Amino acid sequence: MVKRPVSTSLARAFFYIALLSFLTTGIALLTLAIGLRDAEAINIAGYMRMQSYRMGYDLQGDRTELTQHRQFYAQTLDSPVFHLLARWYVPREVHEQYTTLLVNWTMMDAGDLDWYQQNIVRYVTQIDHFVLALQHYSERKMKIVVATSMIGAAGANVHPHDG
């Protein structure tokens, strides 16, 4: 059996602990950076729900503001934060929910008022599904940060033994 100096074993252990720390911290920071705009996306999606209800209200009574509200909604739906959803690491479900909103909004915005009235409730339900998908995506990222931190903590607590 070959005996190594204690300093070599300690240096090796320190190197692996530092490497593990660097990797887990990097993964956690990257995940957090990707999630920086999650709250904004969820808030804007929730605002879209309110705008949809407002347009539904416009349809029930005075329709003078409906055109303006439709334009505001189209701008909100095209918000820059939603453009980030086209990235490769965004779950397919989130991207599909957003795409569904875009496609259905195009049909709703082109449809006549009767068709719009008949479909607004279904569309708001689709917005709810989109908000939920965004929330699940954000939660998934936080779970990655927690798991990475736990792996880093567990790895840092491994003690080399003399062989």
* pLDDT of the residue at 106: 87
Q: What is the pLDDT along the chain (163 residues), one digit of tens a residue?
A: 566 677 887 888 788 878 887 888 888 777 777 777 888 888 999 899 899 888 878 877 777 888 888 899 999 999 999 998 888 888 999 999 999 999 988 888 776 777 777 888 898 899 999 999 999 998 888 888 888 878 777 766 665 554 4
Q: Where are the domains of the chain?
A: 11-156
CA nearest 114: which of 60, 46, 154, 36? 60
* pLDDT of the residue at 65: 84
Sign for the CA dihedral angle at 140, 94, 81, 136 comes to negative
Task: Report residue 158: phi and psi, to 5°.
Answer: -75, 130
* pLDDT of the residue at 2: 61
pLDDT tens-digit readout, 125-163: 999 999 999 999 988 888 888 888 787 777 666 655 544
Residue 72: count of CB within 10 angstroms of its CB:
15
* pLDDT of the residue at 128: 93
* pLDDT of the residue at 67: 83
CA gyration radius for the chain?
Answer: 25
Per-residue DSSP letters for the chain?
-PPPPHHHHHHHHHHHHHHHHHHHHHHHHHHHHHTTTHHHHHHHHHHHHHHHHHHHHHHHS--TTHHHHHHHHHHHHT-HHHHGGGSTTS-HHHHHHHHHHHHHHHHHHHS-HHHHHHHHHHHHHHHHHHHHHHHHHHHHHHHHHHHHHHHHHHHHT------
Question: What are the Cα distances from residue 20, in Å, to 6, 11, 32?
Answer: 21, 14, 18
